[in-house]
Chains A and B, each alone.
Chain A
Amino acid sequence: MSLFGTNTGFGSAGTGVFGTTTTDSHNPMKDVEVTSPPDDSISCLAFSPPTMPGNFLVGGSWANDVRCWEVQDNGQTVPKAQQMHTGPVLDVCWSDDGSKVFTASCDKTAKMWDLNSNQTIQIAQHEGPIKTIHWIKAPNYSCIMTGSWDKTLKFWDTRSPNPMMSLQMPERCYCADVVYPMAVVATAERGLIVYQLENQPSEFRRIDSPLKHQHRCVAIFKDKQSKPTGFALGSIEGRVAIHYINPPNPAKDNFTFKCHRSNGTNTATPQDIYAVNAISFHPVHGTLATVGSDGRFSFWDKDARTKLKTSEQLDQPITACCFNNNGNIFAYASSYDWSKGHEYYNPQKKNYIFLRNAAEELKPRNKK
């Protein structure tokens, strides 16, 4: 049985799978293309944790599937397995030991995928689509955290059909991130809540949004001692806020910066502002990558407050990104993010996942 369904495969339909045209704008950065990408927009990407040897990438898409590839050291990607939901997949995450993958979907369920046996089992149920899923590994418990558009945040022990805990949120969950013992959830109507996860999850603080527009993505960063100390929050209008939880000097330490905008220097024409679709922090250097609707990715050093690099423009928005566990690989997905509604959706357009060597480009400016 074909691993990844019937529509795509090596050399089927579509052009440019292996670079038939030289300066095709679908891959201006000439990065490695992942083979057998999903048939519809990619909503999320996640690399395997360090506990597992090798690099495995999972990606969820709007074609209701989750795919897993092995990324070999020579850059080759090998499709490994695939699972389906009954609705588009919105988020994926790995367990800390790398044996399980958790997937969250519009079908209001979350599933646990055991990679060894290639079996899935449903582990969570919500009243609305589940937008975020994260694995929490605490000294005294382990669980899954799911954030949904039904305005609840639920915690699940995978062995039980009922949630261990359910927290009510003021609005629908739009994005979340977890770095033990901290979790951040950004909701609709610019809500922002920080949770602390020690002993059991509880709401720690509600923060007034540093941004003026809809929240779109969030990522927690750590300090020099590898403790979570703040987060980066991206909005729908080309801006990212860096926010520390307990800074010595909030007015000076917290800041926002513009990104994913066009015509920077040319003031004659209006500046186009794009949504920031995802933010990822480099696991080693602490620098961050942002990807946007404009089809570019950028690397930033938040401590030096500088931009490290901006890519060329791809012909589609970049919808997801992530780093592998040692920070050598940066994966980003090129597909339509629905930023302009359904009129601009072309189901025939191919979707891509690219891999880039991230070892050098994300080194911070002031190397200590």
Chain B
Amino acid sequence: MAECDVEWELCKENIQPLKQGRTISALHQALCQQQEGNHTALNQKKQAFESELRMYDGDDPLDVWVRYIKWTKQTFPQGGKESNLSVLLERAVMLFTADKKYHNDVRYVELWIEFAEGCSDPMDVFRYMQAQGIGTMQAALYISWSEEHEKRGNLKMADRVFQDGVKCGAEPVDKLQVFHRALQARVCRQMMSSMTAQQRDDDDDEDEEPQRSSLAELKAKGKKKAVVPINRVNASAGYARGLQFKQPLGPKHNSRPVIFDENKVPESVPQEPKFEIWTAPPTARAKENEQKPEKWSNVKLPLKSRSGLSVAVPPPKPSFQPFVEEDDRPPAVTPCKINPAVNSVLSARKPCRLEQTPMKMLQERQQLMQTQTQEDGKSREQSMYCRDLVYSGATEFCFEELRAERYWQKHTRKLQTNSPEDSSTD
């Protein structure tokens, strides 16, 4: 185990923190396995979960998803694409949206919250949850939602969310109250510190020295009051996790309409028919890790486009002069010399798969999973195989895998009951 200790020390920064913490033994095991490249045990466990998802016939299917996701988080401490965590979360969340019995199941609500936090716009997700009645009786929703507001500096809304929760009678009540009071305390403290800061003539040791907040956008000093933009391919994922601490939400950049939407929110909760009709929950998990290679040519500086905006539409021109280095002047539009029609690598991602509005994206996905018919505009086609079984988990299964699973299930059942071989019913 000694090597694993070192291993943990060496990659501390890469281990994503979990709200509930990590068991040290699981962490050690996961890191050891990854270091040794021991994929087989991992693969088998993953395959076992995938099979269980498809074979489960009890009345609590959510349980399988919850366990699978929990195992994934423990086994892949760095997160990342290999874990398929975002895919799993999205699937789990979408699968049970129609299932009323899970709407206030604390496990389900927590999945939603985790999903929301991985999205580019958690607010959208929270609002959808509220509109659908998912988690409206759970304190966790209001706590996380208010946290989001607080991260964006919107303390008024943060407080209001808590009030909504109290009004709805969200459980557990005392937890909600504790967090609410904590928020109010923070608000007070902040008001106090800002007041004393204004009055400050001499330096107080309590007051912070000018500290640089980590992971925030850098403010330029000097004459050029321009700001280095934070670049993302495709630009619609406004920020990654970790950048959420200090959101420079001021009108320096293209203001996020989200902020304005907040202020439009009517007083009463939860019935809010004024909301747009949600035909499907918002989607768009953090897309930067899932990107396939694509043209960069449409991306212009600055790249803060509104979430959901298709890249094909160039973002509006900024009101300030983008900072350009003297010596290196990259062109605003990268000329695309490679004809995507010929080079299959660049054309792998078809235009229709570019960032659509979250709802449309999700509708497509839901159709894939739940309905049999495929609308492709021209002719209606119907797949004559069990799509849901094939595609239900994080990865696909082939017919033989499905059949093999059933074979093994039957086989182990036979061994357990020790009955003689008979070639009868399934």
Of A65-73, A176-184, A340-348, which binds chain B?
A340-348
List 30 interface pairs A-B (beta carbons < 8 Å), by A numbering: A87-B407, A88-B404, A90-B400, A106-B408, A149-B47, A149-B401, A150-B40, A151-B43, A171-B395, A189-B395, A208-B344, A214-B398, A236-B383, A236-B390, A250-B342, A273-B381, A273-B382, A273-B384, A274-B385, A338-B403, A339-B385, A339-B386, A340-B384, A340-B386, A341-B402, A342-B403, A342-B406, A345-B426, A347-B423, A347-B425
Q: Residue B379 at the A interface, CB < 8 A? A: yes
| 7 closest A-B pairs by CB | A270-B380, A339-B385, A338-B399, A338-B403, A341-B386, A270-B382, A127-B40
If the complex has contacts A127-B44, A274-B384, A340-B384, are A347 and B424 also in contact, measured as CB distance less than 8 A? Answer: yes
- Per the bound structure, the CA–CA distance linking A339 and B402 in Å amounts to 9
With both beta carbons as reference points, the residue of chain B lying nearest to A277 in the complex is identified as B399
- Per the bound structure, the CA–CA distance linking A337 and B384 in Å amounts to 12
B396 touches A188 (CB 8 A): yes
Interface residue ranges of A23-58 to B (CB < 8 Å): 39, 43
Residues of B within 8 A of A150 (CB): 40, 43-44
Residues of B within 8 A of A1 (CB): none
Q: Residue B412 at the A interface, CB < 8 A? A: no
A270 touches B385 (CB 8 A): no
B386 touches A271 (CB 8 A): no
A271 touches B380 (CB 8 A): yes
Residues of B within 8 A of A340 (CB): 384-386
- Per the bound structure, the CA–CA distance linking A214 and B396 in Å amounts to 8
- Per the bound structure, the CA–CA distance linking A275 and B382 in Å amounts to 12
If the complex has contacts A7-B423, A347-B425, are A216 and B407 also in contact, measured as CB distance less than 8 A? Answer: no
- Per the bound structure, the CA–CA distance linking A275 and B389 in Å amounts to 15
If the complex has contacts A188-B395, A189-B396, A251-B342, are A293 and B384 also in contact, measured as CB distance less than 8 A? Answer: yes
Q: Residue A272 at the B interface, CB < 8 A? A: yes
**B residues within 8 Å of A by Cβ?**
39-40, 43-44, 47, 341-342, 344-345, 348, 373, 379-386, 389-390, 395-396, 398-404, 406-408, 423-426
With both beta carbons as reference points, the residue of chain B lying nearest to A175 in the complex is identified as B398
- Per the bound structure, the CA–CA distance linking A345 and B352 in Å amounts to 38
Which one of B44, B406, B407 has the highest number of Cβ atoms from chain A below 10 Å of its Cβ?
Answer: B407
With both beta carbons as reference points, the residue of chain B lying nearest to A209 in the complex is identified as B348
- Per the bound structure, the CA–CA distance linking A88 and B404 in Å amounts to 8
If the complex has contacts A128-B43, A151-B39, are A341 and B407 also in contact, measured as CB distance less than 8 A? Answer: no
If the complex has contacts A293-B385, A347-B425, are A267 and B379 also in contact, measured as CB distance less than 8 A? Answer: yes
CB distance from B225 to the nearest CB of A (A): 46
Partner of A275, one of B341, B344, B345, B399: B399
If the complex has contacts A106-B404, A150-B40, A345-B426, are A208 and B47 also in contact, measured as CB distance less than 8 A? Answer: no
Residues of A within 8 A of B402 (CB): 338, 341-342
CB distance from B371 to the nearest CB of A (A): 12
Q: Residue A62 at the B interface, CB < 8 A? A: yes
CB distance from A209 to the nearest CB of B (A): 9
Residues of A within 8 A of B398 (CB): 174, 188, 214, 216, 236
CB distance from A198 to the nearest CB of B (A): 26
- Per the bound structure, the CA–CA distance linking A106 and B407 in Å amounts to 10
- Per the bound structure, the CA–CA distance linking A345 and B426 in Å amounts to 8
Q: Report the count of interface residues on A (CB-CB < 8 A).
A: 47
With both beta carbons as reference points, the residue of chain A lying nearest to B409 in the complex is identified as A342
Q: Is the interface of B mostly helix, strand, loop or mixed?
A: mixed
- Per the bound structure, the CA–CA distance linking A251 and B342 in Å amounts to 7
Q: Residue A301 at the B interface, CB < 8 A? A: no
A347 touches B384 (CB 8 A): no
- Per the bound structure, the CA–CA distance linking A274 and B395 in Å amounts to 21
Interface residue ranges of A208-259 to B (CB < 8 Å): 208, 214, 216, 236-237, 250-251
Q: Residue A286 at the B interface, CB < 8 A? A: no
Q: Residue A147 at the B interface, CB < 8 A? A: no
- Per the bound structure, the CA–CA distance linking A74 and B396 in Å amounts to 45
- Per the bound structure, the CA–CA distance linking A169 and B270 in Å amounts to 50
Which one of A106, A216, A337, A342 has the highest number of Cβ atoms from chain B below 10 Å of its Cβ?
Answer: A342
Q: Residue A111 at the B interface, CB < 8 A? A: no
- Per the bound structure, the CA–CA distance linking A341 and B342 in Å amounts to 39
With both beta carbons as reference points, the residue of chain A lying nearest to B55 in the complex is identified as A342
With both beta carbons as reference points, the residue of chain A lying nearest to B398 in the complex is identified as A174
Residues of B within 8 A of A128 (CB): 43-44, 47
CB distance from B415 to the nearest CB of A (A): 12
Residues of B within 8 A of A337 (CB): 399
CB distance from A207 to the nearest CB of B (A): 8
Partner of A273, one of B44, B383, B386, B423: B383
If the complex has contacts A7-B423, A87-B407, A88-B404, are A237 and B383 also in contact, measured as CB distance less than 8 A? Answer: yes
With A128-B44, A338-B402 already in contact, 14 other A-B pairs whose C-beta atoms are closer than 8 Å: A128-B43, A128-B47, A131-B400, A150-B43, A150-B44, A214-B390, A236-B385, A267-B379, A270-B382, A272-B384, A340-B385, A342-B402, A342-B426, A347-B423
Residues of A within 8 A of B40 (CB): 127, 150
Residues of B within 8 A of A236 (CB): 383, 385, 390, 398
If the complex has contacts A128-B44, A151-B39, A347-B424, are A339 and B403 also in contact, measured as CB distance less than 8 A? Answer: no
- Per the bound structure, the CA–CA distance linking A261 and B384 in Å amounts to 9
A39 touches B423 (CB 8 A): yes
CB distance from A233 to the nearest CB of B (A): 14
Residues of A within 8 A of B342 (CB): 250-251
A294 touches B384 (CB 8 A): yes
- Per the bound structure, the CA–CA distance linking A90 and B345 in Å amounts to 33
Interface residue ranges of A150-198 to B (CB < 8 Å): 150-151, 168, 171-172, 174, 188-189
Residues of A within 8 A of B345 (CB): 208
B400 touches A339 (CB 8 A): no
Q: Residue A59 at the B interface, CB < 8 A? A: no
Partner of A341, one of B373, B389, B396: B389
Residues of B within 8 A of A273 (CB): 381-384
Which one of A172, A188, A341 has the highest number of Cβ atoms from chain B below 10 Å of its Cβ?
Answer: A341
Residues of B within 8 A of A149 (CB): 47, 401
If the complex has contacts A151-B39, A208-B348, A271-B379, are A339 and B384 also in contact, measured as CB distance less than 8 A? Answer: yes
